[in-house]
């Protein structure tokens, strides 16, 4: 099968169509489809046991699908396993490191089994050691490294051959908070190139910080696919506006409630002892009433201290999608 190289950023580098994977009679992944374009940084988000790791193993050619197709840069994952391995760098959840080797020895070994030529490999080892901030540990036995630094070695082996696609499966799980920050910084840098990056995780802040688009998987099915902002707009069902006003509480609530398009006004809290209250105003979806609300408040002689749209947090989106009964 001939590869079709992708030069257009709107052309999918990863094409997943009706992917299904069974373990015995259990459907770990059921009929999922999605595309990821060149240069995209996409979060693959789901609770433990949702099918994230199974999907990543199929994408990277480490496990055959039961049904459906996966293409990477035009190559079929089943028919062109060796070509797929050249195109993809993979950091599995449990990194298979040789703990009796030094960092340099291990990276040299991983590059050689990928068929890299000696001169290029030597230069690339230096590059990835610098990129992954392993310079002080290049001659250290891997078994003596902390888990955080072992994870960096795992990232280094994943990019040693300069892959088009990088798949990271739970890259910060089990490492200390300082190393979490450093690893996320490294992932962000890796995602700023033209490389396509998939981050599989159940940690919501990572997706918020690093990804422009999110795929949410639950019980083996894709239940949402969009940007965080678009997911928020789609799921909350109505617009919410947070305001803070100095003035008579009950009168303000009753006045705002009479504005056309306002569904209800909720008093949130008294922010101080000086007649200042916070309100949550829910309005009809796709209706922008910020100007009308602000004019109403000012025309009544009240003091508007704050007015802003409220989006659902990623945590709220995640819970809404993974706890409801039907999708």
The model's pLDDT over 36-63, given as tens digits with 9 standing for 90+, comes to: 999 999 999 888 888 999 999 999 988 9
Q: Is the separation of the CB atoms in 41 and 193 below 8 Å?
A: no
311 pLDDT more than 90: no
Span(s) in the chain for CATH 3.40.50.300: 12-226
Long-range (24+ apart) CB contacts under 8 A made by 245-248 are 245/276, 245/277, 245/279, 245/297, 245/302, 245/303, 245/304, 245/305, 246/274, 246/275, 246/276, 246/302, 246/303, 246/305, 247/275, 247/297, 247/300, 247/301, 247/302, 247/303, 248/275, 248/302
66 pLDDT more than 90: yes
Structure tokens at 60: 């990277």
Cα–Cα distance measured from residue 196 to residue 193, given in angstroms and rounded to the nearest whole number:
8
Long-range (24+ apart) CB contacts under 8 A made by 125-129 are 125/160, 128/156, 128/159, 128/160, 129/103, 129/104, 129/156
Kindly give, in sequence order, each residue whose CB lies less than 8 Å from that of residue 40, ignoring residues fewer than 6 positions away. Answer: 196, 197, 212, 213
b or e along 114-147 (b: 16 or more beta carbons within 10 Å of the residue's beta carbon)?
Answer: eebeeeebeebbeebbebbebeebeeeebeebee
Cα–Cα distance measured from residue 27 to residue 22, given in angstroms and rounded to the nearest whole number:
4
pLDDT at 323: 67
Widest distance between CA atoms in the chain: 78
- Best-predicted range by mean pLDDT (42-51, 135-144, 178-187): 135-144
Lowest mean pLDDT, pick from 54-58, 105-109, 116-120, 319-323: 319-323
pLDDT at 246: 93
pLDDT at 237: 60
Structure tokens at 139: 């001659």
Q: Is the pTM of this model over 0.75?
A: no
Residue 165 or 234, more confident: 165
pLDDT per residue as tens digits for the range 142-163: 999 999 999 999 999 999 999 9
Span(s) in the chain for CATH 3.30.70.1340: 235-309
Burial class (CB in 10 A: 0-12, 13-18, 19+), 203: middle
Percent of the chain's residues with pLDDT above 70 = 90
| Terminal CA-CA length for the chain | 37
13 pLDDT more than 80: yes
Q: Is the separation of the CB atoms in 241 and 288 below 8 Å?
A: no
Cα–Cα distance measured from residue 48 to residue 169, given in angstroms and rounded to the nearest whole number:
12
Residue 235 or 297, more confident: 297
Q: Give me the CATH topology for the region 12-226.
A: Rossmann fold (3.40.50)
Q: Is the separation of the CB atoms in 301 and 275 below 8 Å?
A: no
Name the E strands within 112-252: 165-169, 196-201, 213-218, 221-226, 239-246
| Size of the chain in residues | 327
Right CATH for 235-309 from 2.30.29.30, 3.40.50.11750, 3.40.640.10, 3.30.70.1340: 3.30.70.1340
To which H or E segment does residue 267 belong?
A: strand 262-270
Cα–Cα distance measured from residue 278 to residue 79, given in angstroms and rounded to the nearest whole number:
60
314 pLDDT more than 70: no
278 pLDDT tier (thresholds 50, 70, 90): very high
């Amino acid at each position: 099968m001939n590869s079709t190289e992708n030069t257009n950023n709107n052309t999918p580098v990863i094409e997943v169509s009706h992917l299904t994977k069974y373990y015995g009679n259990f459907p770990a992944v059921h009929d999922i489809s999605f595309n990821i374009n060149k240069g995209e940084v996409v979060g693959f988000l789901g609770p433990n046991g949702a099918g994230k790791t199974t999907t990543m193993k199929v994408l990277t050619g480490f496990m055959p699908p039961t049904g459906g197709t996966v293409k990477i840069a035009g190559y079929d994952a089943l028919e062109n396993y060796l070509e797929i391995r050249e195109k993809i760098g993979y950091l599995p959840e449990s990194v298979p490191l040789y703990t009796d080797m030094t960092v340099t020895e291990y990276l040299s070994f991983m590059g050689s089994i990928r068929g890299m030529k000696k001169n290029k490999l030597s230069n690339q080892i230096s590059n990835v050691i610098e990129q992954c901030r392993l310079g002080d540990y290049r001659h250290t036995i891997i078994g003596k490294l902390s888990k955080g630094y072992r994870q960096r070695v795992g990232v280094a082996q994943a990019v040693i051959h300069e892959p088009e696609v990088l798949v990271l499966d739970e890259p910060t799980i089990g490492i200390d908070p300082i190393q979490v920050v450093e690893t996320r910084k490294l992932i962000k840098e890796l995602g700023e190139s033209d490389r396509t990056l998939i981050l599989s995780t159940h940690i919501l802040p990572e997706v918020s910080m690093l990804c422009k688009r999110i795929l949410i998987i639950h019980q083996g099915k894709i239940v949402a696919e969009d940007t965080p902002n678009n997911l928020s707009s789609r799921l909350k069902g109505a617009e919410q506006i947070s305001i803070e006003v100095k003035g008579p509480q009950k009168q303000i609530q009753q006045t705002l409630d009479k504005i056309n398009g306002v569904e209800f006004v909720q008093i949130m809290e008294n922010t101080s002892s000086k007649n200042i209250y916070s309100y949550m105003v829910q309005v009809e979806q796709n209706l922008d009433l910020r100007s009308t609300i602000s004019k109403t408040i000012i025309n009544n002689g009240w003091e508007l201290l704050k007015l802003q749209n409220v989006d659902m947090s990623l945590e709220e989106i995640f819970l809404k999608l993974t706890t409801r009964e039907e999708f």
